[in-house]
Homo-oligomer: A and B are copies of this chain.
Amino acid sequence: MQHGSGKFSFVIPIHIESAWQGTSDCRNCGIRDMVLFADLNEQDFGQIHTPIDDLKYLQDAVLFYEAGHAQGVFTLRKGLVKLVRSTADGRERIVRVLRAGDVIGIEALATSRYDTEAVAMTDISVCRIPLSVLHHLSVHSPRLHTRLMQKWQQALKDADDWLAELNFGTARQRVARLALKMRDADAPHMTTLFARQDMGAMLDLKLETVSREISALVRDGLLKPQDKSGRHYEIVDEKRWFSL
């Protein structure tokens, strides 16, 4: 944990894991076309009577816990969030990773409880939308209603993707598919990996196996490390990846 463990004795008493950045100006949101409020019109915005908070969390901060009571739903503006479940035998399983534009804790809309734990994998920036706002708008704004359906569908598809793509086949195949899945949006031949332990929890592999397979991919000339952090790699000779 490289953040979040400093000395707090001198800081103002905000919530320990998050920092309030102000009330969001959703109309001018930089990523508005990706998110829930994409299609809202002036009339829709007029119906929002509870402020939408703009929050920042540090890496490793917990947004909410499994089975926790929900205050609201989050929109991820920047960074990465992992959804974690603890299994019957106490180990941690990462069921999905969310990126900018994704909704965190959408399940709270139906039950007011979260079904997973959400943890920041990087420093992140989120909007917290109160449940009351979404309940109201989803009935009174067909625009939001349609967007919400799309977000549900996307979440479900992502969940099935993680199961069908990433948790199937040999260790080599799993690591390779994760590397491809985590390509940078703006530089498709680059990819950003995670801590080996986290990758293990995503792929159902031990961290040593993940490490070995990454090393093997590098040795085979399919991956080229960009630095010594073990996180940034270039994807080489893309054609050969399909035959894994």
In the complex, residue of chain B having the shortest beta-carbon distance to the beta carbon of A151: B110
Is A138 an interface residue, CB under 8 A from the partner? Answer: yes
* Chain B proximity mask over A119-155: 1 for CB below 8 Å, otherwise 0: 0000000000000000000110010010001101111
Q: Which of A5-13, A19-27, A86-94, A229-237 contacts B (4 or more CB under 8 A)?
A: A86-94
CA distance A26 to B18 in the complex (A): 49
Question: Closest B-chain residue to A109, C-beta based?
Answer: B149
Copies assembled: 2
A217 at the interface (CB under 8 A from B): no
Task: Judge if A204 is at the interface, Cβ distance under 8 Å.
Answer: yes
Q: What's the tally of chain A residues with a CB closer than 8 Å to chain B? A: 41
Distance between Cα atoms of A110 and B155 in the complex (Å): 12
Q: Which B residues are in CB contact (< 8 Å) with A110?
A: 149-150, 152-154
Q: Which A positions have Cβ atoms within 8 angstroms of B? A: 83, 85, 87-89, 91, 93, 95-96, 106-107, 109-111, 115-116, 138-139, 142, 145, 149-150, 152-157, 159-160, 162-165, 167-169, 173, 177, 204, 242
Kindly list 6 other residue pairs between chains A and B, CB separation below 8 angstroms, not including A115-B157, A156-B156, A159-B159.
A83-B160, A87-B165, A93-B163, A95-B160, A115-B156, A167-B204
